[in-house]
Chain A
């Protein structure tokens, strides 16, 4: 029982210390998982992280499941995942509860109007960063622009785009358009 508690607490700490997720998480995982507990090597961590990035879902959760399952099987994977999301549920519920009560105050509304501008810029920066990794040739450029234009102007579910693009990726690779 104690080993699961340790696993839960270790990943809860990772959850608390991860601001924003993504690459920010790597040094924290290194410290908590590799240095402190010796649960995985740095190389294994990079492998998990790489696969976590290219499987559906939140990368932090995917990595947690990987390490938990490696240590103590299926239950370990579940416990590690619950650990990593636990702080979020607690902190966000408190903040959301407070904000709901203050949302009508003009100063709060002005603050959020300012914040929305910042969110635009942050999303734009995220897009340009991902763009460099994703758009590597003509076929991926066409795919990206097509998805962007269609999803701005048509009210289609993102699920449809995801399924079609996975198929398109396989098709482009098979007919030899990839990398040109």
Chain B
């Protein structure tokens, strides 16, 4: 029953996530809410592991979620669920590739889908942001405004933002470098 549900949830993700690996993220947050297989915190860790290991991010995340929910069979079932809609759709499109790319309705639909993906991924980012940079629970308990901000984390975020976007020597580096550095800083400064 669990495996059937896993397959169904990831089939849905594979069918509706348009625009590559990160586009699966909003669906995984939705899945955390509706199934309780994993927490938001675990999901953020999965993103980090998926970015730092070989393989497409979307596939890595599906495998990780599947493993967390149902061990190795879960990992296999979730991954198969994710790729099944792709395989079916591509096999159908491959026969009519040219006319698909030039079809005005397909083009118009994707004109609307692209901003949708960006909005959804950004909203998923807000959930990670709340978890990583703010102590919402501590603030609710104490009511002291300075308790709300995780200052160490905010400083790290600003430094990372500058390094990954504006420092020419650093911004071309692979994300794994920044992930490893952040892990080390997290341990050294007891985040």
Q: Would you call A120 and B85 a contact (CB within 8 A)?
A: no
Given contacts A54-B18, A110-B191, contact A115 B116 (CB under 8 A): no
Q: Per DSSP, are chain A's interface residues mostly helix, strand or loop, or mixed? A: helix
Contacts of A57 in B (CB 8 A): 14-15, 17, 58, 82-83, 85-86, 89-90
Bound together, the chains give a CA A129 to CA B39 distance in angstroms of: 27
Considering only CB atoms, which chain B residue lies closest to A152 in the complex? B123
Q: Would you call A21 and B100 a contact (CB within 8 A)?
A: no
Residue from A25, A51, A61, A143 whose CB has the most chain B CB atoms within 10 Å: A61
Tell me, rounded to whole Å, the shortest Cβ–Cβ distance linking A130 to chain B.
5
Considering only CB atoms, which chain B residue lies closest to A162 in the complex? B16
Contacts of B41-63 to chain A: CB distance below 8 A: 41, 44-45, 47-51, 53-60, 63
Bound together, the chains give a CA A56 to CA B20 distance in angstroms of: 8
Which of A66, A87, A93, A100 contacts B72 (CB under 8 A)? A93
Q: Hey, which bits of chain B sit against chain A, CB under 8 A? A: 12, 14-22, 24-27, 30, 33, 41, 44-45, 47-51, 53-60, 63-64, 67-68, 72, 75-76, 79, 82-83, 85-87, 89-91, 93-94, 97, 100-101, 104-126, 128-129, 131-133, 153, 156-157, 160-161, 164-165, 174-176, 178-179, 181-187, 189-191
Report, as a range, how many residues of chain A touch the other chain: 35 or more
Q: How many residue-residue contacts, CB under 8 A, span A and B?
A: 365
Which of B63, B111, B176 contacts A89 (CB under 8 A)? B63
Q: Would you call B116 and A162 a contact (CB within 8 A)?
A: yes
A104 contacts the other chain (Cβ, under 8 Å)?
A: no
Contacts of A155 in B (CB 8 A): 33
Residue from A21, A56, A117, A170 whose CB has the most chain B CB atoms within 10 Å: A117
Tell me, rounded to whole Å, the shortest Cβ–Cβ distance linking A11 to chain B.
11
Given contacts A115-B179, A127-B121, contact A58 B87 (CB under 8 A): no
Which of A19, A112, A121, A159 contacts B160 (CB under 8 A)? A121
Q: Would you call B115 and A74 a contact (CB within 8 A)?
A: no
Considering only CB atoms, which chain A residue lies closest to B72 in the complex? A93
Report, nearest first, the 5 A-B pairs whose CB atoms are least far apart: A114-B186, A169-B112, A147-B119, A57-B86, A88-B55
Q: Would you call B182 and A114 a contact (CB within 8 A)?
A: yes
A157 contacts the other chain (Cβ, under 8 Å)?
A: yes
A53 contacts the other chain (Cβ, under 8 Å)?
A: yes
Map CB proximity to B onto A68-86 as digits: 1 under 8 Å, 0 otherwise. Answer: 0110001001100100110
Given contacts A58-B21, A116-B44, A158-B26, contact A19 B113 (CB under 8 A): no
A119 contacts the other chain (Cβ, under 8 Å)?
A: yes
Given contacts A53-B20, A97-B67, A122-B51, contact A58 B112 (CB under 8 A): no
